[in-house]
Structure 1
Amino acid sequence: MFLSFAAALALMSASGSAVHDDPLTQPIPGNADWVKPQTPLKLYGKTYFVGTGGLSLVLIDTGDGLILIDGALPQTVAATETNIRQLGFRVEDIRYILNTEAHYDHSGGLAALARDSGAQVITSPIGAAALRTGRADGDDPQASSVPEHPPVANARGIEDGESVRLGDTAVTAVFTPGHTPGSVSWTWKTCEGDACVDVVFASSLNAVASGSFTYRAHPDVTAALRASIERVEALPCDLLISAHPDNSGGDVKIAALQAGAAPNPFLDPSACRAYAERARARLQARLDREAS
C-alpha cells in the first residue's frame, strides 16, 4: 500500500533517514529505467529530448521562451534541469509546462519544475484538478494504486483543440482519455529551414488497471480509450514521441540518434499508426484476460 505524499515525508523525517531538504523532490519508487540518465538530444528543428531513459520529456524552443512537456519523477528534476542547461537553455526561460497525465511518473516533478522556472502548468481540466491535489482522479483505472505526488498549485485546464502559443510555436491539446480520464496528447510543427514536420507527443494509451477495476465493467472508459487510439492514429504525424519511449520504439530511436544514425530515425510517418495498433492490441488482450 502506498503512503500519501505528506505521510511519506513525515515517516522519513521521523525515522532519521537521509532526506533531501527539498520536499518537492523526495523520491517516489518506480521503474529503474525511469531514473536512468539520458543525454539530451535534438530530435528535429527546435525540439529536444530532455528526459530519462524511460520517461519522455520534451523541450521546445519557440524563439520567445521555452515550452516543456511532462515532468517525470520528483527525483529526476535535477537531471532534467541539467539536461536543459547542457543544451544551452535556461530553466528560468520555460514559460509553459504541458502535461500528458496526472500520474506520478509524468507529473511527479511538475511542482519543482514549475517553482524553479516560474512556468504555468497546463493540461486538461480533469488532469489539472488531479494535479492540484497530487492524487489520481477517482475515476482513474489505476486510482487504487497510483502513488500521490507533490501537488501542483498553479495547474490550469485547457480545452480540447486549444493551442498554447509562444513565439513561433503553437502546441495544440488533443484529449486522449482512457489510460487516465484527463490524458492529453500534444501536437506542433517544428522546422529545419523550410522543412517542417508534424510532431506528436502522445500520452500513454495502455489499458492498465488496478484493484477491482476492469475495462469490461466500464464500457464508457473502454469506448473512450478506443476513440483515443483512433484519434492518435489519424493525427498528422511525421515524428512521434510517446510518454514512455519504449512503448513506441523511441528508446531504440534515441540510442540510434545518439550514435549519429542517418537519416533521422525519429522521422517516420507510420509511427503513430504503429503506436495505435500496439495500443489496440493491448486493449483487446486485456479485455480477453478479463473475460477468461
Structure 2
Amino acid sequence: MMKTIGIALTILGTALFAGAPARAADWYAPQEPFAVYGNTYYVGTGGISAVLITSPAGHVLIDVGGPLAPDQVVKHIRKLGFKVADIRYILNSHAHTDHAGGIARLQTLSGATVLASPASLNVLSSGRPDKTDPQIANLVPLAPVANIRVLHDGEVVRLGPIAVTAHFTPGHTRGGTSWTWQSRENGRVANMVYADSLYAFSGDGIPFSANPGYPNAKADVEGSIAAVESLDCDVLVSAHPELGGLWERKAKQPALGNAAFIDKDACRGYAARSRARLAQTLADDAAAAEAGKAAR
C-alpha cells in the first residue's frame, strides 16, 4: 500500500515540475545530510528541502517533506548527532503534500509545536487542500496536524540563541512563508534564507491570473518574488533545492567548505527564475484561452 502511494506521489511530483530538472521529479531521492553553515544543516531528501537549526536550548526544523519522508529526515538528524526529541518547533513553507505531508508524523515523534501562517492553518489542521489553490486539481490530502500555533508576518520565533523571522510569501499558495535567521561559523555571521516556492502554476484549465477563488494570486506571487529578492541573503535554501541552485553550491563544498554555500546573488537569481516561470505560466494561459476560442 505504501509503495503504491509513493509511486503515485512521485508521478504527481513529475507532473507538477515537468519543466524543472529531472531530480525534482523524485521527492524521496536519497540524500546524505550535511552541514550548510554554522548551526544550520540540510536534513531533507534529494527532492524536497528540510533544514535543521540547532542550539543547546533545542532545535527548529523547517519543512519535513512528503508523507514518506519522515524516516529519512529522522535518520539524517540522528546521523548528524542530534536528537529528534530536541526539536521544539516545526515550521512550514507551504501546506502542499510534498512539503507538509510528513509534518504530522514528525510532530508525533518529536512533540514539537508546529508554527504556520493563518492561511495555512485550516489545511494543516484538517489535512484537506485549499479549494481555492491554483493547483487544486493536482493536490491530495495530508495527515492532519495537531498543536499548531499561528504566526504573523514578520514575527520572530525565538528558541535560546535562535531567532527565525517569518516572511509571508503568498502566491504559490495563500499561506506561503519564507524564513530568515543568522548562523555563525569561524567568526563570520551569514544571513540565512529558506525561501518558499515562488513558481506560478495553473491547474484544471483555470488561468493563474483569473482564478475566481484566488483573484490576487498574480499580484501575490509578484510581491513575494520581490520580497525574497530584497532579503539580506548570504545563503539560500529553497523549498525545492534545485530551484535555488543548492546542488551546484553543494558540489563546491569539498573544496571550499561551507563557504561554498555563500552566494549573495542566490536570492536574486531565484527571483529571476520565478519571474520567468510566471511569464511562462501567463503566456501558456493566454495561448490556452486563444485555443479555446478557436475551438468554439
The two structures share one fold, judged by TM-score above 0.5: yes
The answer (yes or no) to whether the contact 1:126–1:157 under 8 Å persists in 2 is no
Quote the RMSD (CA, aligned, Å).
Answer: 1.6
Where does residue 252 of structure 2 map in the other structure? 256
Please identify which structure carries the higher helix content.
Answer: 2
1:256 to partner: Cα distance:
3.4
Find 1:120's aligned residue among 113, 118, 122. Answer: 113
Contact 1:125 1:156 survives alignment (8 Å) = no
Residue 262 of structure 1, CA deviation: 4.5
Conserved 8 A contact 2:35-2:258: no
What do the CA deviations read for 1:24-53 (whole angstroms, capped 9, x no partner)? xx7462245211111110000000000111
CA distance in 1, matches of 2:125, 2:41: 27
- For 2:87, the aligned partner's letter is I
Q: Which runs of 5+ in 1 are unaligned?
A: 1-11, 13-18, 21-25
Segment of structure 1 superposing worse, 120-129 or 31-40: 31-40
Question: Does the Cα contact within 8 Å between 2:58 and 2:160 map onto a contact in 1?
Answer: yes
| Residue of structure 2 in register with 1:69 after alignment | 62
TM-score of the aligned structures, taking structure 1 as reference length: 0.88
Q: Structure 1 residue 287 and structure 2 residue 282: aligned?
A: yes
Any gaps of 5 or more consecutive residues in structure 2? Answer: 14-24, 288-296
| Structure 1 residues 61 and 286, CA gap change in structure 2 (3 angstroms) | same
Q: 2:268 aligns with which of 259, 265, 273?
A: 273
String of CA shifts for 1:108-158, please: whole Å, max 9, x gaps.
100000000000011101112210111221221112221111111222310
**1:54–1:251 CA contact under 8 A, matched in 2:** no
The reply on whether 1:231 has 2:227 as its aligned counterpart is yes
Picking from 80, 89, 96, the partner of 2:89 is 96
Report the equivalent of 1:80: 73
Segment drifting more, 272-281 vs 146-155: 146-155
2:171 is paired with a residue of what secondary structure? coil
Q: Secondary structure at the match of 1:74?
A: coil
CA offset at residue 194 of structure 1? 2.9
Whole-Å separation in 1 of the counterparts to 2:236 and 2:114: 22
Secondary structure in structure 2 of the residue aligned to 1:200: strand
1:251, CA displacement in angstroms? 2.2
Between the aligned partners of 1:34 and 1:109, the Cα distance in structure 2 is 12
From 240, 246, 249, the counterpart of 2:242: 246
| Alpha-carbon distance in 2 for matches of 1:64, 1:128 | 26
Structure-2 separation of matches of 1:270 and 1:90: 34
Q: Name the structure 2 match of 1:42.
A: 35
Percent sequence identity over matched residues? 46
Separation of aligned partners in 2, 1:262 and 1:60: 18
C-alpha spacing 1:130/1:191, structure 2 compared with 1 (3 Å):
same
Deviation of 1:193 after TM superposition, in Å, equals 4.3
Question: Letter of the aligned partner of 1:228 in structure 2?
Answer: S
Q: Corresponding residue for 1:6?
A: none
Q: Quote the residue 1:190 is aligned against.
A: 183
1:220 maps to what in 2? 216
Number of residue pairs matched by the alignment: 269
- Of 130-139 and 118-127, the range deviating more from structure 2: 130-139
Judging changes above 3 Å, is the alpha-carbon distance between structure 1 residues 263 and 115 closer, same or farther for their aligned structure 2 residues? closer
Contact 1:238 1:268 in 2 (8 A): yes
Equivalents in 2 of 1:255, 1:52: separation in Å?
A: 16
